[in-house]
Structure 1
Amino acid sequence: MRSWRTRVRARTEWPFILTGLATAALLVVMLYYPVASVFIEAIVIDGQPSLSPLTSVVSDPFYWGLFKFTAYQATLSTLLSLALGLPGAYVLARFEFPGRKTVRSLTLVPFVLPSIMVAVGFAAMFGTRGPLNRALAAVGLPKLELLFTLKIIVLAHAFYNAPLVVRVVAASWESIDARLVETARSLGASPRRAFLDVVVPQLAPAVLTSTLLVFIFTFMSFPIVLALGGLELATVEVWLYDRIRNLRLQEAAALAVLEAAITLGLTYAYLHYESGQAATRQVAPRPRERLSDALPLERLAIGVYALIIGIVFLGPIISMLLASVTDVGGGFTLRYYEFLLARRDVVVGTQPDAAIRNSLLFAVGTLIVAVPMGVVVALATARDTLTARLVGTLAMLPFAVSGIVVGFGLLQTVVFGVEVFGYELQVTGAVAIVAAHAVGAYPFVVRTVTPALTSMDNRLVESARALGASRTDALLDVELPLVAPAVAAGAAFAFAISIGEFNATVILAEGGNVYTMPVAVERYLSDRTLGPATAMGSVLLVVTGVSFVIIERIGEYGGIE
């Protein structure tokens, strides 16, 4: 017969078990089942298996061209991201200068900055009345028509993804053992030869992982291409969205399956190379030099690079902020912000105050759902076991599957309603959008909390369990207090991601009043109303900027090293 202590301990295990089961159920209902329904739609016709939807897409020259163009623009975007990011990684890894920590923190920008806001910034800077064309006109040069061209899409992608390259490669560069370089030099190697033979091979995995990551992101890019390219420069994601809007659902499902096959393969390769870099070793990092001590030619090159970075990265943000307070005649105005506070519909049928309110409410709802989910999955993946690796791979599905696909799957399953054990399960409106946001946000909580858990001394938990604490007690009294900063950073990520989420939201908000700030921005841009779009984009910048400051203050738990 079990003792009283054993029975009590068994009962107190239930909260931990039930939380894990609830997380698994949510993932099944809100992620795996909807995504699976999209894939089934592509291989089943009238209840019978059929490959005709897939073969019709594969055999269509139009779709071959669509995939080729998507891969082509992703390749160009990746190359430009590398060209802008690698010099930045070199500067961060080699030199010490005022503001270095702030610059490094800014490499988190792609994780918190809404991509639709980036599109607004580029439209404001490179538009007909933008600062660039006004400057060209002032010196008598012809205007540049970059909007709705491949050039501006590639440039916007580089703005968004070059910081990822900097973050990944700089971390790897800083971990190179200086003793190996010194040994090569002592054996007669020149600085160039030592760099090529010692440094480059050790940087190659980081460059490859960042290349894969950027290619995946730009291959699946949606808001930037939609806003700056439209259907004239449609990628797979944009055309998938168009097929859904036109109720060509089976065609959309076939496209989603083919796209997922490509992105899942690339994501697997990325995770494989990233895990290969995860092994730690004792190194003697090379001390960073003061930037003022660099060679004159090197300082000149860094200065030119800083100027380019300033134009590419600060230009769109400053242009958006200026456009939000500038009227058509060039004078100062606050009417675009007054418009955001006005309770009235515009031509595109979108009330700005409702969009702001919805975004904030959905972000709070996302926190309530995504943070516990992320902590539970982090606990399940923090140990190096086969089960943990399997759970970790399945948990990262939102990284490999488009938000459009998730939104599409939710729409045709739980939003329209499904029957479960004789009862109809239906999730609509705000609840469906919060679910989609939570699905996209919880992996970032996982990626911030898991490193903190793996670095924690297991003996603390084992001691608590040996003294009679249940698994739930050990979690609440030992583990969570120790990883609280990581949980807080994950929560800030989840909030920022919800505020900026566009892909799934634009599908689920179609025809309803649950649109958010990013959806409102896209609608204003599609109506060629740049003023309201820049004002709403500026509000988005402030909200996500606060999230960024929180993440930076708490510590660099987020991002990808």
Structure 2
Amino acid sequence: MTRRETVGRWLERRAVALLGVATVAVLAVLFYYPVLTVFADAVRVGGAWTSSFVREVVTDPFYVGALGPLLSGDLSAVADVAADRPLGIFGFTAYQALLSTVASVAFGLPGAYVLARYEFPGRRTLRSLTILPFVLPSIMVAIGFYAFFGANGPVNDLLAAVGVGRISLLNSLEAIVVAHAFYNAPLVTRVTTAAWESVDARMVETARSLGANPYYAFRDVLVPQLLPAVLTGALLTFIFTFMSFPIVLALGGLQLATVEVWVYSLVQQLDYAEAATLAVIETVVSLALTYAYLRYEARQSSSSRAANPPARKRFLSGVRSSGAVSPLAALERAGIAVYAVVVAVVFVGPIASMVVESITGPNGLTLQYYRFLVQRQIEGASFQTLPGVAVRNSLFFGAATLLVALPMGVTVSVLTARGGRWARLADTAAMAPFAVSGIVVGLGMLRGLVFGVELWDHRVQVTGAVAIVAAHAVAAYPFVVRNVSPLLGGLDRSLVESARALGATRFRALLDVELPLVASGVAAGAAFAFAISVGEFDSTVILATGSSSYTMPVAVERYIGNRTLGPATAMGTVLLAVTSLSFVVVDRLGGRWEV
């Protein structure tokens, strides 16, 4: 055997372990180091450790409201602060997240009821749409709300037509809450529908046979089994909306700033120490929430899917032999009809309005906004944001992210699919990017890798496109894990053992046996990773500042900032087309999101 063959055999036998080490190294450099850099900026100044920034933030009423005087010992100022600024930015961030969570649950539960209880044409497509929060860029949602609820949008046109008059619906807490519900209600629907379909119908039948009416059977049998899923969806929604950035930035601005928006504002002012301090406190809170979610999920993981799920009934059931509809069925249909109207207004209206706005001008249908984008691209250097560059960058970053996130996600999936304490630890590490916002990752990369690190008298820098792809890969690879890991865990282990017994290495068994059997999950994870990269905004808007590495979401935000809604909706429609293609791939390949 030649030396080359010997080395090849050695690498193949240890390929899985080497991939694991490489994944840990990539995460350490691209995720944990930037996050720790932010932490260091908050407690280290001029080479000396200090807690002054943290003390200033946690005692400043601007940030913590009435809690500030309490922590500083100035009890006489509590009443004045409570009257003037009771919540502070952190309190307002939690308050809007709580309202957004309540609205998301309120919008999401009726959808879960319809999908779990009824069979109707288009049900599968409608259920697939519940993965929209993971593929639709949030800045595009903000554009849709501008187009739909804006001063000249359809809602105000309708109000003016009925004599109410035009009112300001944007730049308000209500607009932020509804936009968050648009984004997160499908998540609640998806999680709750899966739980509803896992309820054993025989338990309900037993309760009915013992004399319970439909209401008590629902309250005492169904609700206790659905409650964990509802709480899971609510907790995830609270985490996501607590760290929300693009929607609040576009619909609220600094007047309704959350922690994320204020951190971004401080970064623009080059006030890195204060920005880092806010980011650290926010990260600690979100880590605690994510830890609570993981603990709660672990306690619920022992429940298995029901062998006898409840049968769905046809939507037109409830008709008596005489042709009349029973009162209960009529009331239920009326409620579903009202919910359908709400869905059309809140969920369909903004996206449809964005598309319509992009082809509508003062004199009717037009392509002037698309021509504007083309003209801006042709004129080139005289403009800061070129549409063609944004599209090219988004597609390139998406493909590059795919090449990094896919092997990382598959490797983590292999490590977590076997179970055990180390598997749980790896799964917890895979969830870390959900607890750390893109703003924190972007700020950490800017302060660390972009500014440069001294290694052996050499400054190592990761800038431009490489830094953005790194940030996107960190955000995207957990979605690969969540698509691949459940499928790997469900495979018959005897297949791998048989391959190993026949002489295959662990890596060869993975390539030739396991991955072909979970190819749909790998492909769906790849589509998720690409879509997440294309729509990622939080870290990109920091890393692309002052460079030509901006993407379509960043271009959309810049067009909004210039008050040119027409071109912004045109660019948003282009972004919608790209992400919709990714969504179709996810749907066709059976994309899933396991929580």
Distance 2:335 2:212 in 1: 25
Contact 1:38 1:408 (C-alpha < 8 Å) held by counterparts: yes
- CA 1:347–1:76: 2 relative to 1, 3 Å: farther
Matches within 5 A, 1:59-458: 59-64=59-64, 65-279=88-302, 280-294=304-318, 295-327=329-361, 329-342=362-375, 343=377, 344=379, 349-458=384-493
1:55 maps to: 55
Which amino acid letter does the alignment assign opposite residue 217 of structure 1?
F
Secondary structure of residue in 2 paired with 1:293: coil
Secondary structure of residue in 2 paired with 1:424: strand
Which amino acid letter does the alignment assign opposite residue 312 of structure 2?
R
- Post-superposition offset of 1:127: 0.8
Distance 1:299 1:346 in 2: 58
Which amino acid letter does the alignment assign opposite residue 514 of structure 2?
E
Which amino acid letter does the alignment assign opposite residue 415 of structure 2?
A
Q: CA RMSD for the aligned pairs?
A: 1.6
Contact 1:9 1:469 (C-alpha < 8 Å) held by counterparts: no
- CA 1:114–1:217: 2 relative to 1, 3 Å: same
- Post-superposition offset of 1:141: 1.9
Which amino acid letter does the alignment assign opposite residue 431 of structure 2?
M
Contact 2:394 2:551 (C-alpha < 8 Å) held by counterparts: yes
Quick check: 96-105 or 289-298, which moved more?
289-298
Contact 2:43 2:53 (C-alpha < 8 Å) held by counterparts: yes
2:85 maps to: none
Secondary structure of residue in 1 paired with 2:316: helix
- CA 1:409–1:8: 2 relative to 1, 3 Å: closer
Which amino acid letter does the alignment assign opposite residue 96 of structure 1?
E
2:323 maps to: none
Distance 2:544 2:89 in 1: 26
Q: Per-residue CA shift, 1:253-278, capped at 9, x if unaligned?
A: 11011101111111111122223333
- CA 1:81–1:9: 2 relative to 1, 3 Å: same
- Post-superposition offset of 1:20: 2.2
Distance 2:253 2:488 in 1: 44
- CA 1:421–1:173: 2 relative to 1, 3 Å: same
Which amino acid letter does the alignment assign opposite residue 439 of structure 1?
V
Distance 1:281 1:320 in 2: 40
1:13 maps to: 13
The two structures have a TM-score, normalised by structure 2, of 0.91
2:84 maps to: none
2:31 maps to: 31
Contact 1:348 1:527 (C-alpha < 8 Å) held by counterparts: no
- Post-superposition offset of 1:46: 2.0
Q: Per-residue CA shift, 1:183-218, capped at 9, x if unaligned?
A: 111111121111111111111111111110001111
Distance 1:11 1:351 in 2: 46
- Post-superposition offset of 1:281: 4.8
- Post-superposition offset of 1:422: 3.9
- Post-superposition offset of 1:282: 4.3
Bigger relative contact order, structure 1 or 2 (CA pairs below 8 A, ≥6 apart): 1
Contact 2:199 2:306 (C-alpha < 8 Å) held by counterparts: no
- CA 1:124–1:345: 2 relative to 1, 3 Å: farther
Contact 1:339 1:352 (C-alpha < 8 Å) held by counterparts: no
Which amino acid letter does the alignment assign opposite residue 404 of structure 1?
I
Distance 1:237 1:254 in 2: 12
Distance 1:175 1:277 in 2: 13
Distance 1:338 1:98 in 2: 39
Contact 1:167 1:560 (C-alpha < 8 Å) held by counterparts: no
Q: Per-residue CA shift, 1:23-49, capped at 9, x if unaligned?
A: 221111110001011011111222222
Q: Per-residue CA shift, 1:132-182, capped at 9, x if unaligned?
A: 111222222211201111111111000010000000011111111111111
Distance 2:529 2:340 in 1: 31
Contact 2:416 2:427 (C-alpha < 8 Å) held by counterparts: yes
Contact 2:486 2:594 (C-alpha < 8 Å) held by counterparts: no
Distance 1:58 1:395 in 2: 30
Secondary structure of residue in 1 paired with 2:360: coil
Aligned residues: 555
- CA 1:384–1:18: 2 relative to 1, 3 Å: closer
Distance 1:478 1:286 in 2: 35
Distance 1:228 1:247 in 2: 24
Distance 1:347 1:118 in 2: 29
- CA 1:346–1:293: 2 relative to 1, 3 Å: farther
Structure 1 residues without counterparts, runs of 5 or longer: none
Secondary structure of residue in 1 paired with 2:549: coil
The two structures have a TM-score, normalised by structure 1, of 0.96
- Post-superposition offset of 1:390: 0.8
- Post-superposition offset of 1:526: 0.9
Secondary structure of residue in 1 paired with 2:285: helix
1:475 maps to: 510
* Alignment pair present for 1:528 and 2:552: no
Structure 2 residues without counterparts, runs of 5 or longer: 65-87, 319-328
